[in-house]
Amino acid sequence: MGMLQTRFTREFGIAHPVVQGGMMWVGVAELVAAVANSGALGFLTALTQPTPEALAKEIARTRSMTDRPFGVNLTILPSITPPPYAEYRAAIIESGVRIVETAGFRPEEHVAHFKANGVKVIHKCTAVRHALSAQRMGVDAVSIDGFECAGHPGEDDIPGLILIPAAADRLSVPILASGGFGDGRGLVAALALGADGINMGTRFCATREAPIHDNFKQALVANDERATKLIFRSYRNTARVARNAISQEVVEAEGQGRPFEDIAHLVKGARGREGLESGDLDRGIWTAGLVQGLIHDVPSVAELVQRIVGDAEDLIGQRLAAMVQSAPAPVAGVS
């Protein structure tokens, strides 16, 4: 196997242009260390930890399992009672973490604080205008999230096939392609579209090290690309989640024009977490992307990353290279 190197791998000191982004309840030490040990870049999810002190402990626990680079995701959510973001930031910086993935609402103060402390920042965006704003803020890379993604795709509904090259045309910092990636073909496509790597969430959930009940992993294998629902569209806070009894009920309630208060009890994070732990697929909503249609097994993280990179290198070096024909020699007597 060769080495697939990009601006992103060089600037962030990793072997492979593959990233495991922040995922609520999933981005914990066992998964992140496995991703780091595979040569990819993994992110702990800060807000999965109940306190900044717990996050510092989780960072230390991850360090005990890997000597390779990993980062922390800090998602900024508009909230009446926001978590103590400044304390979470301090825990990240004081723990010596050098890479952070930010996402969400008005990240300026967070980006400025991290940058002032020598931390590299990747900001996750769903639109080119947001990516340009993040670049002006001084981020080191942007993750651009197409409509195929799990979680929040924004309200523009632009798929990766357009969004990634549209971003690449305008940005000078490295770009990670997010949303719909799960195999070597996707990695090659992302690179061809102008990205410097891929960011995967759903695909990493269907690995042996992901800290969720096996029922969810088997559901990701069984589900096809149609098995998601877009919820909260009517509240302009669209989220792509797996199709189940709860997401169907939410969509029906929205169709009747009912307010968020009527469904809030169904979509509470605690319910989703209970499901991930107990194996009850209909306990709450759970996040999944269209890439479910490309997930056919539950490998180890190391096997998955090796397969993606190996398949990508074969695709570039053999199949695509074979399509580039040198011009045939002119035939004698034919002008």
Could you tell me which residues come within 8 angstroms of residue 335 by beta carbon, excluding any fewer than 6 positions away?
A: none
**Which pLDDT value is given to residue 85?**
96
**Which pLDDT value is given to residue 334?**
64
Which residue segments constitute the domains of the chain, with CATH numbers given? Answer: 7-210+299-314 (3.20.20.70), 214-278 (no CATH)
**Which pLDDT value is given to residue 332?**
72
Instruction: Tokens for 9, please give them.
Output: 């791998």
203-234 pLDDT per residue, tens: 999 999 999 999 999 999 999 999 999 999 99
* 3-state SS assignment for residue 235: helix
- pTM (2 decimals)? 0.95
**Which pLDDT value is given to residue 215?**
98
DSSP string for 253-307: HHHTT--GGGTTTTS-HHHHHHHHHH--TTSS--B--GGGGG------HHHHHHH
The stretches in the chain having pLDDT less than 70 are 1-2, 334-335
**Which pLDDT value is given to residue 13?**
97
* 3-state SS assignment for residue 176: strand
**Which pLDDT value is given to residue 335?**
59
**Which pLDDT value is given to residue 3?**
82
